[in-house]
């Protein structure tokens, strides 16, 4: 059929062949006929031929060469899909002769315009490397080139190639480190996993450990403390305490969103990254995400539980809040059950042990006997670890001795033995009880354990011990080897302590042992006989026989099997297997001294460099925005939220100062003329400038003139900047400085834009058409991210950047509620309100207010609505929809919007129910009227300077803050 | 990374193999069979099996083992997650993922696998993209293909692959523009003997079916986003927007997808909508035991509970059960000792119950543990956590889409210990 002229016949034939391949049948004799069709016009036939080729080319190398020319031609095809697939198949044909052709193709493809082809080139690198490792040097060159690639499509694949070909060439990463960190969010999920693992290794070689000192301390605060003596020693050359390298911080921050990924592998990768490289105080966030993964498939659960088990040994606190998530269900597969049990044991402490023991009791009764046995072991371990409950556990275990199931009893015996060994106190009763059990138990380990116990404590149970020995002597020949050995031991011990009663019995047993089939037992018999039975040849040793046999034995340690796994990187195959897998790359220890961080610097646009205060901020920021648009967009909200979090903590004082500003216009003049001297006014002035910010951007034309002024006042205002930032330093953090510098760059670009905007629209640096709509509406909360636009921007991927003073939303929202209506005065209806600090959905000038209504009566309250409003002029309220009825004890939260006209005037209105009306007031604190806006230091200064020119604040509401 | 893939059915036949690098002999699966034998039950087969030269990572779904062969160190979750993705893709393509279906569509399966991995590294795993590359088989297309000889392989590079919105293809057109969101919550709970709750959690997902023309940009906001404690998103959701505003903003993939899965914070008390009264006793002396279960509604917020199914794994000593349900049907499989009772709707006036006797193996001692009861149920039009979608807005396109939202509460892993 393959010879047929008709495509459909050929296709049919190819489908059958593929079917054969899939079933594992050999179809290699058809090779010549199939290869001919490689040039077929029909895409599906072509694809199937490719499938065939890749499968059999290795076996039929000569014939496979026939097809090469087709691929070479296809490599030049204008269609990127065809180029890519040609490269894919060409590199998949494992024929050593074509190595040079492949090399050439890869080199060409790595410079291809299409990122898809470049991605395939990255894959081809690995294939070529596995075919011919001699090409390594050349391939590294290609990898180096591809690592510089800025497309998210390529990043994952090339890092994979890097890991495969030259994982030790860490120097190739330096220049691309920041880029990779920033691209990470946008890379496809599989690439993310690979990159995160690689960056973990990288970070361990390049940064100093964040763990060494006081873990509890928030490390970004550390900047601001005077160095401790200890720390001084460690970071000697720096003469200051540990500061996290900004790049280190960058990695940790950029991976955080990925914890929310739907892909379990990504979540696990981020978790291990946090575990291995983040400061201990920050690793806490991973536990929630890992626990979430437990809802997933059985296999995912298995791996995740293993990793949690390892983590929970070292740091109990991490998973303690999730204790109940590890409770076992009867439907879990056994391996999951045992792992959960393991984790529960690790998490057990004085506080939760009683709950856990109750839970264990249920498990012991499980139908899954293997699991029940594991539970008993677990109880034993808990008992040894937590001394308070040892007795309770022991009693519980003794109760289990009367269990009907033999496995359970046997396991209990073994565990009790271990427990008793640890507690040399009197437990005669238990031992007697166990001695009785010997009649019924058949499991060898348990029998052996009982015998050992009796032997060990034979002086405490003088009556029954000989009796037990007598019984055992009777059944000696039928016992398991393990038991026989213990019988011999028991006999010896009894002989030494109570030779009168047991002499004959011992002799008898020793005789039996002498002719046993097992050489171990014969050996032991001989040894014991020589040692204890006095005869003329007996050496000096027999004098010490008693000491030898009845010495105090050290108690065994009950340890977790996951104890030693932590030397493997979490989330790796090696960790799962607890052996080193092929190709496992050791995670190096932290370096004592950080290698030069400047190797990661990239010389791109260094515009904003001179503005960065104190040289701490990251120099690569200007470059960042050229990489990925969506990243950039996220960054901006990130950075502004950073600054916001700070503002939350100091909102009190800020509120004051801004209040001043709105009333006190004279301070504005001050700020211009004498700002370097008056400390108080500096703050006010600063604030004012921020407030003015919005009005500024509205009349953007004026901006240009003003910016000159601002530049001139730059020097002095920067000093203000620093002094004021010092004064607020409590919550200031390093990341903030970073974010600040990012803002710097952003604003810098904004300025460029604003400078050029009126002049020429077609300047190539930025696509202005894209910008215009974005940059104007500073105050509009939602449309700031006009979605279609973002889609466009995302498409542009590389070269665009936006420069909006972006309105951001706060990370920190105080949960403080204010009383709107007290339940006493509201006849049982209570109302509280609080400001969620979110953009109001009812209108952009409105402040959103959430009102929680509670019904404290025992009747329904019907028809709650807002009645008459008494508002100052200009104020508006968007009311909530009437609530039909509120159940007794019920509560409901509604949101409404109030336009306070940027004043702190009170909004009064009536809150009505079916029967009553109550007058209520909302008076907003100033802080709640402000809209957080991110802006750079530079821009801020500019605004500040501009303030002097304007005497009227058109809209003081939209203030923003920087430091 | 992934060297080869073997598909093994429950009777231990390898019915499909695919290699991405040089061929690995089938004999490597012998190690797998060994482990399978040792494990007795399919779900106890360890997911990771080391062999002298390879590592076998497997997942078990739809009664098929998907065994991946790897040679070097790789994050195991990477492989496992990928295998699950393969299964999901098959399901998406063929409706069901079973041995006969895979055998029938072996060519499509092969083509799909070829696209999903290159040299063992995942290439295209988004089903939207795959469907553009290789069209899923439909009856109509099969007929057309046989007549015209055309193919089900796309000849264009899917545009999504290159854009930054890799999950959506361009040029989507619908006459009816619709977006449906199903908020489905599952209650995982363990209830102890006396009826008190040991653990209870709510896990929810929002499954969406979006059929919108062009490149719509949607935002979905909740009335009470604070409820959501831990969330994971489809890659299309803009994380920072969520972080700052608690709003889901996304360009949706075309068709069905899971937008969000979430966990409701543990501080909130979980309302348990049903209770089970049980009285199961085995007596030592006789070979008969008593068995009685009643199911009733508890906190249902006025909704009816539907689709109630009670299953219970009886102890090995149970020979047979003679039971009479007041409603629904019940079956007892004497081989697997699995009791299942399909109750249907619960009528609060007349509570469904199942009564009868249990006959035990003569001579055997009574089982020392009562069986646990697993419960399934459904409540329509209710999200038990109280989560409510506030509004859905669309930007970027002109038309007005039809929007629909549905709430549902289901039992997840709901167990009652007796």
A270 and A286 Cβ atoms separated by less than 8 Å: yes
pLDDT band, residue A646 (cuts 50/70/90):
very low
Find the helix packing angle between A464-475 and A481-497, rounded to 10°: 140
pLDDT at B180: 92
pLDDT at B407: 92
Do the Cβ atoms of B114 and A51 come within 8 Å?
yes
pLDDT at A616: 39
| Cα(A850)–Cα(A813) distance, integer angstroms | 12
| Dihedral sign, Cα of residue A705, residue A710, residue A713, residue A715 | negative
| Cα(A741)–Cα(A608) distance, integer angstroms | 8
> Apex CA A264: angle with CA A260 and CA A269, to 5°?
80
Which of B46, B74, B190 lies nearest to residue A573, judging by beta carbons? B74
pLDDT at B182: 93
| Cα(A192)–Cα(A777) distance, integer angstroms | 35
Tokens encoding A146:
């591809």
Task: Give me Rg for the CA atoms of chain B.
Answer: 25
Helix (H) or strand (E) holding A469: helix A464-475
| First-to-final CA distance of chain A | 77
Cβ neighbours of residue A315 closer than 8 Å, sequence gap 6 or more: A280, A283
Smallest Cα distance from B224 to chain A, Å? 9
Phi, psi (degrees; rounded to nearest 5) at B209: -130, 105
| Cα(A671)–Cα(A689) distance, integer angstroms | 9
Phi, psi (degrees; rounded to nearest 5) at A26: -85, 125
Tokens encoding B19:
């290699």
Find the helix packing angle between A768-775 and A787-796, rounded to 10°: 150
Which residue of A23, A44, A83, A848 to mutate against B (max B Cβ within 10 Å)? A44
Q: Which of B 172-201 lie inside 8 A of A, CB atoms?
A: 188, 190, 192, 198-199, 201
| Cα(A852)–Cα(A861) distance, integer angstroms | 14
Do the Cβ atoms of B313 and A334 come within 8 Å?
no
| Cα(B278)–Cα(A466) distance, integer angstroms | 51
Tokens encoding A30:
């058809």
Do the Cβ atoms of A787 and B396 come within 8 Å?
yes
Q: Would you give per-residue pLDDT tens digits along chain B (418 residues)?
A: 788 899 998 888 888 888 888 788 888 888 888 888 888 777 888 888 888 888 899 899 888 999 999 888 888 888 999 999 999 888 888 888 888 888 888 888 888 888 888 888 888 787 777 777 777 776 655 556 555 555 555 555 454 445 556 777 777 788 888 899 999 999 888 888 888 888 888 888 999 998 888 888 899 998 888 888 888 888 888 888 888 888 889 988 888 888 888 888 666 677 888 888 888 887 766 677 888 888 888 877 778 888 899 998 888 778 888 888 888 888 988 888 888 999 888 888 888 888 888 888 766 666 666 788 899 999 988 888 888 888 888 888 888 888 899 999 998 888 888 7
Q: Which of B 124-143 lie inside 8 A of A, CB atoms?
A: 125
B202 and B264 Cβ atoms separated by less than 8 Å: yes
**3-state per-residue secondary structure call for A381-431:** HHHHHCHHHHHHHHHHHHHHCCCCCHHHHHHHHHHHHHHHHHCCCCCHHHH
- In the predicted model, is pLDDT for residue A733 greater than 70? no
A753 and A742 Cβ atoms separated by less than 8 Å: no
The backbone region for B19, taken as left when phi is positive above 0, alpha when psi lies in -120 to 50, beta otherwise, is: beta
> Apex CA A150: angle with CA A148 and CA A152, to 5°?
125
Which of A127, A190, A257 lies nearest to residue B119, judging by beta carbons? A127
Count of residues for chain A? 963
Q: Please check whether residue B122 touches A, CB under 8 A.
A: yes
| Cα(B172)–Cα(B6) distance, integer angstroms | 36
Task: Specify the higher pLDDT residue, A366 or A309.
Answer: A309
- In the predicted model, is pLDDT for residue A958 greater than 70? no
Residues in B touching A7 (Cβ below 8 Å) = 149
pLDDT band, residue A678 (cuts 50/70/90):
very low
Do the Cβ atoms of B114 and A47 come within 8 Å?
yes
pLDDT (average), residues A94-98: 82
Which of A267, A362, A838 lies nearest to residue B245, judging by beta carbons? A838
- Of A17-26, A784-793, A890-899, the least confident: A784-793
| Dihedral sign, Cα of residue B261, residue B252, residue A791, residue B396 | negative
| First-to-final CA distance of chain B | 47
Phi, psi (degrees; rounded to nearest 5) at B344: 85, -140
pLDDT at A634: 42
- Of A82-96, A115-129, A817-831, the least confident: A817-831
The SS3 call for residue A904 is: coil
Q: Which of A744, A794, A801 is nearest to A775 (CA)?
A: A801
Phi, psi (degrees; rounded to nearest 5) at B144: -60, -45
B123 and A15 Cβ atoms separated by less than 8 Å: no
| Cα(A158)–Cα(A110) distance, integer angstroms | 10
Residues in A touching B246 (Cβ below 8 Å) = 838
- Of A67-76, A223-232, A683-692, B359-368, the least confident: A223-232
- In the predicted model, is pLDDT for residue A739 greater than 60? no
* Nearest chain B residue (CA) to A295: B203
- In the predicted model, is pLDDT for residue A258 greater than 50? yes
pLDDT band, residue A947 (cuts 50/70/90):
low
CA distances in angstroms from B267 to A291, A420, A906, listed in the order given = 16, 41, 36
A947 and A668 Cβ atoms separated by less than 8 Å: yes
Task: Specify the higher pLDDT residue, A214 or B377.
Answer: B377
The mean predicted confidence, pLDDT, of chain A is: 69
pLDDT (average), residues A514-542: 75
Which of B234, B263, B417 lies nearest to residue A362, judging by beta carbons? B417
ipTM: 0.88
Do the Cβ atoms of B75 and A197 come within 8 Å?
yes
| Cα(A15)–Cα(A230) distance, integer angstroms | 72
Do the Cβ atoms of A123 and B374 come within 8 Å?
no
pLDDT band, residue A943 (cuts 50/70/90):
low
Do the Cβ atoms of A299 and B58 come within 8 Å?
yes
Do the Cβ atoms of B17 and A22 come within 8 Å?
yes
Tokens encoding A79:
């269609």
| Cα(A601)–Cα(A583) distance, integer angstroms | 31
pLDDT at A592: 73
Question: How far from the centroid of its chain's Cα atoms is residue A542's Cα?
Answer: 63
Task: Specify the higher pLDDT residue, B353 or A592.
Answer: B353
Strand partners, A621: none
pLDDT at A682: 46
Overall pTM > 0.90: no
Q: What is the pLDDT of residues A742-753, one digit of tens each?
A: 554 445 545 444
Tokens encoding A622:
């200007």
Which residue of B107, B197, B264 to mutate against A (max A Cβ within 10 Å)? B107
DSSP code, position A957: G
CA distances in angstroms from A568 to A307, A345, A575, A590, listed in the order given = 11, 22, 5, 15
A907 burial level (CB within 10 Å; 0-12, 13-18, 19+)? buried
Phi, psi (degrees; rounded to nearest 5) at A656: -60, -50
Tokens encoding A39:
């040039």
| Cα(A70)–Cα(A81) distance, integer angstroms | 15
pLDDT (average), residues A503-521: 83
Task: Specify the higher pLDDT residue, B57 or A564.
Answer: B57
Do the Cβ atoms of A292 and B240 come within 8 Å?
no
pLDDT at A420: 76
Task: Specify the higher pLDDT residue, A650 or A878.
Answer: A878
- In the predicted model, is pLDDT for residue A679 greater than 50? no
Helices (H) and strands (E) in chain B, counts: 8, 23
Smallest Cα distance from B386 to chain A, Å? 11
pLDDT at B321: 84
Count of other CB atoms within 10 angstroms of residue A399: 12
- Of A399-403, A775-779, B68-72, B209-213, the least confident: A775-779
Q: Which of A113, A116, A172, A129 is nearest to A148 (CA)?
A: A172
> Apex CA A278: angle with CA A275 and CA A280, to 5°?
75
B122 and B82 Cβ atoms separated by less than 8 Å: yes
- In the predicted model, is pLDDT for residue A314 greater than 50? yes
pLDDT at A73: 84
Q: What is the pLDDT of residues A379-390, one digit of tens each?
A: 888 888 887 777
Smallest Cα distance from B323 to chain A, Å? 23
DSSP code, position A933: B
pLDDT at A628: 39
pLDDT (average), residues A787-812: 45
Task: Give me Rg for the CA atoms of chain A.
Answer: 38
Q: What is the pLDDT of residues B342-369, one digit of tens each?
A: 988 888 888 888 888 888 876 666 666 6
Residues in B touching A839 (Cβ below 8 Å) = 245
pLDDT at B235: 82
pLDDT at A507: 82
Count of other CB atoms within 10 angstroms of residue A703: 21
Task: Specify the higher pLDDT residue, A129 or A535.
Answer: A129
* Nearest chain B residue (CA) to A24: B17
> Strand runs (DSSP E) across A239-336, as ranges?
none
């Amino acid at each position: 059929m393959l010879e047929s002229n008709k495509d459909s016949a050929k296709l049919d034939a190819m489908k059958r062949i593929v079917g054969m391949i899939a079933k594992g049948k050999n179809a290699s004799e058809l090779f010549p006929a199939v290869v001919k069709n490689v040039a077929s016009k029909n895409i599906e036939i072509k694809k199937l031929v490719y499938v065939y080729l890749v499968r059999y080319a290795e076996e039929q190398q000569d014939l496979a060469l026939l097809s090469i020319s087709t691929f070479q031609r296809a490599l030049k095809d204008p269609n990127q899909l065809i180029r890519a697939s040609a490269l894919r198949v060409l590199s998949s044909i494992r024929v050593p002769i074509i190595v040079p052709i492949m090399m050439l193709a890869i080199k060409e493809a790595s410079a291809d315009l299409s990122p898809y082809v470049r991605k395939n080139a990255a894959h081809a690198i690995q294939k070529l490397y596995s075919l011919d490792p001699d090409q390594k040097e050349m391939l590294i060159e290609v990898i180096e080139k591809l690592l510089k690639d800025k497309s998210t499509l390529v990043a994952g694949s090339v890092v994979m190639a890097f890991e495969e070909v030259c994982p030790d060439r860490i120097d190739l990463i330096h220049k691309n480190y920041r880029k990779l960190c920033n691209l990470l969010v946008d890379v496809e999920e599989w690439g993310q996993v690979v990159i995160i693992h690689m960056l973990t290794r990288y970070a361990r070689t390049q940064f100093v450990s964040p763990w060494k000192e006081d873990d509890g301390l928030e490390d970004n605060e550390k900047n601001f403390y005077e160095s401790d003596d200890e720390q001084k020693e460690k970071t000697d050359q720096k003469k200051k305490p540990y500061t996290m390298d900004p790049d280190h911080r960058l990695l940790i921050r950029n991976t955080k969103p990925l914890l929310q990924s739907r892909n379990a592998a990504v979540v696990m990768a981020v978790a291990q990254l946090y575990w291995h490289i983040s400061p201990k105080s920050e690793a806490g966030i991973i536990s929630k995400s890992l626990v979430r993964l437990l809802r997933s498939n059985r296999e995912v659960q298995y791996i995740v539980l293993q990793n949690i088990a390892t983590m929970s040994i070292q740091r109990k606190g991490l998973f303690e809040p999730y204790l109940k998530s590890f409770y076992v269900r009867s439907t879990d597969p056994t391996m999951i059950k045992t792992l959960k049990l393991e984790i529960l044991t690790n998490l057990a402490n004085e506080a939760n042990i009683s709950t856990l023991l109750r839970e264990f009791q249920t498990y012991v009764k499980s139908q899954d006997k293997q699991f029940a046995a594991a539970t008993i072991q677990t109880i034993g371990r808990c008992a040894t670890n937590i001394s308070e409950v040892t007795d309770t556990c022991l009693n519980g275990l003794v109760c289990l001795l009367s269990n009907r199931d033999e496995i359970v009893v046997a396991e209990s015996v073994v565990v009790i033995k271990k427990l008793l060994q640890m507690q040399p106190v009197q437990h005669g009763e238990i031992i007697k009880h166990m001695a009785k059990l010997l009649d019924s138990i058949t499991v060898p380990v348990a029998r052996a354990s009982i015998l050992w116990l009796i032997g060990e404590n034979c002086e405490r149970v003088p009556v029954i011990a000989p009796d037990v020995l007598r019984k055992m002597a009777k059944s000696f020949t039928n016992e398991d080897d393990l038991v026989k050995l213990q019988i011999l031991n028991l006999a010896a011990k009894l002989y030494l302590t109570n030779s009168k009663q047991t002499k004959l019995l011992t002799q008898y047993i020793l005789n039996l042992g002498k002719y046993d089939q097992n050489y171990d037992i014969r050996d032991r018999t001989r040894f014991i006989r020589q040692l204890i039975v006095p005869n003329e040849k007996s050496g000096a040793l027999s004098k010490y026989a008693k000491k030898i046999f009845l010495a105090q034995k050290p108690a065994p340690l009950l340890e977790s099997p996951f104890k030693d796994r932590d030397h493997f990187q979490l989330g790796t195959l090696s960790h799962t297997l607890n052996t080193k897998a092929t190709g496992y790359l050791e995670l190096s220890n932290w370096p004592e001294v950080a290698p030069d961080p400047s190797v990661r610097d990239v010389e791109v646009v260094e515009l904003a460099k001179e503005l960065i205060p104190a040289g701490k901020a990251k120099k690569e920021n200007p470059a960042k925005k050229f990489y990925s648009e969506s990243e950039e967009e996220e960054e901006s909200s990130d950075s502004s939220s950073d600054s916001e979090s700070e503002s939350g903590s100091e909102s009190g004082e800020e509120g004051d100062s801004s209040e001043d500003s709105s009333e006190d216009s004279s301070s504005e003049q001050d700020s211009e003329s004498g700002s370097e001297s008056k400390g108080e006014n500096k703050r006010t002035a600063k604030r004012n400038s921020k407030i003015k910010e919005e009005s500024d951007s509205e009349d953007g034309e004026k901006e240009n003139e003003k910016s000159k002024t601002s530049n001139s006042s730059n020097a002095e205002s920067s000093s203000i900047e620093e002094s004021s930032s010092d004064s607020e330093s409590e919550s200031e953090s390093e990341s903030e400085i970073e974010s600040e510098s990012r803002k710097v760059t952003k604003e810098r670009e904004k300025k460029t834009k604003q400078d050029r905007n009126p002049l020429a629209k077609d300047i190539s640096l930025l696509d202005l058409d894209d910008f215009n709509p974005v940059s104007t509406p500073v105050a509009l909360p939602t449309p700031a991210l006009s979605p279609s636009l973002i889609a466009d921007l995302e498409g542009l991927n590389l070269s665009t950047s936006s420069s909006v003073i972006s309105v951001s939303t706060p990370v920190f929202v105080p949960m403080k509620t204010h009383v709107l209506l007290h339940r006493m005065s509201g006849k049982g209806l209570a109302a509280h309100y609080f400001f969620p600090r979110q953009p109001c959905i009812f209108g952009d000038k409105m402040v959103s207010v959430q009102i929680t209504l509670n019904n404290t009566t025992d009747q329904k309250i019907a028809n709650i609505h807002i009645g008459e409003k008494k508002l100052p002029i200009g104020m508006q309220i968007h009311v909530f929809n009437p609530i039909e009825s509120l159940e007794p004890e019920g509560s409901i939260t509604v949101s409404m919007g109030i336009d306070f006209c940027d004043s702190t005037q009170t909004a009064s209105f009536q809150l009505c129910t079916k029967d009553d009306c109550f007058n209520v007031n909302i008076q907003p604190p100033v802080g709640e009227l402000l809209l957080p806006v991110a802006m750079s230091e530079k821009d801020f200064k500019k605004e500040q300077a501009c303030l002097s020119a304007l005497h009227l604040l058109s809209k003081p509401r939209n203030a923003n803050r920087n430091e | 990374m992934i060297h080869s893939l073997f598909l093994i059915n429950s009777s231990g036949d390898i019915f499909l193999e695919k290699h991405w690098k040089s061929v690995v002999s089938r004999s490597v699966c012998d190690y797998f069979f060994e482990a399978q034998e040792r494990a007795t039950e399919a779900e106890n087969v360890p997911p990771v099996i080391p062999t002298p030269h390879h590592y076998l990572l497997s997942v078990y779904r739809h009664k098929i083992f998907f065994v991946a062969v790897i040679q070097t160190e790789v994050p195991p979750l990477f492989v496992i997650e990928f295998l699950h993705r393969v299964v999901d893709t098959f399901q998406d393509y063929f409706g069901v993922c079973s041995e006969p279906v895979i055998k029938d569509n072996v060519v499509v399966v092969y083509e799909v696998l070829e696209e999903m991995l290159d040299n063992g590294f995942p290439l295209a795993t988004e089903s939207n993209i795959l469907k553009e590359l290789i069209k899923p088989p439909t009856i109509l297309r099969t007929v057309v293909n046989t007549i015209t000889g055309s193919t089900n392989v796309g000849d264009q590079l899917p545009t999504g692959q290159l854009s930054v919105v890799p999950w959506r293809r361009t040029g989507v057109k619908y006459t009816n523009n619709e977006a449906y969101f199903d908020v489905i919550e599952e209650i995982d709970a363990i209830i102890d003997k006396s009826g008190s709750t040991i653990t209870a959690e709510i896990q929810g997902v929002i499954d969406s079916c979006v059929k919108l023309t062009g490149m719509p940009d949607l935002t979905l906001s909740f009335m009470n986003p604070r409820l959501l404690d831990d969330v994971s998103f489809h890659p299309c959701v803009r994380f920072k927007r969520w972080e700052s505003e608690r709003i889901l903003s996304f360009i949706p993939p075309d068709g069905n997808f899971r937008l969000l899965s979430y966990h409701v914070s543990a501080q909130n008390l979980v309302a348990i909508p049903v209770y089970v009264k049980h009285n199961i006793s085995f007596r030592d002396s006789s070979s008969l035991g008593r068995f009685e279960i009643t199911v009733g509604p508890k906190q249902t917020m006025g909704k009816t509970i539907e689709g109630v199914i009670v299953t219970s794994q009886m102890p090995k000593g149970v020979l047979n059960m003679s039971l009479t349900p007041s409603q629904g049907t019940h079956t007892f499989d004497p081989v697997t000792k699995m009791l299942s009772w399909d109750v249907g709707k619960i009528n609060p006036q007349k509570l469904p119950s199942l009564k009868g006797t249990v006959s035990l193996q003569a001579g055997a001692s009574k089982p020392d543990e009562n069986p646990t009861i697993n419960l399934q149920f459904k409540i329509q039009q209710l999200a038990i956590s109280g989560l409510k979608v506030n509004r859905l807005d669309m930007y970027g396109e002109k038309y007005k889409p039809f929007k629909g939202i549905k709430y549902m509460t289901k039992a997840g892993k709901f167990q009652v210990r007796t």
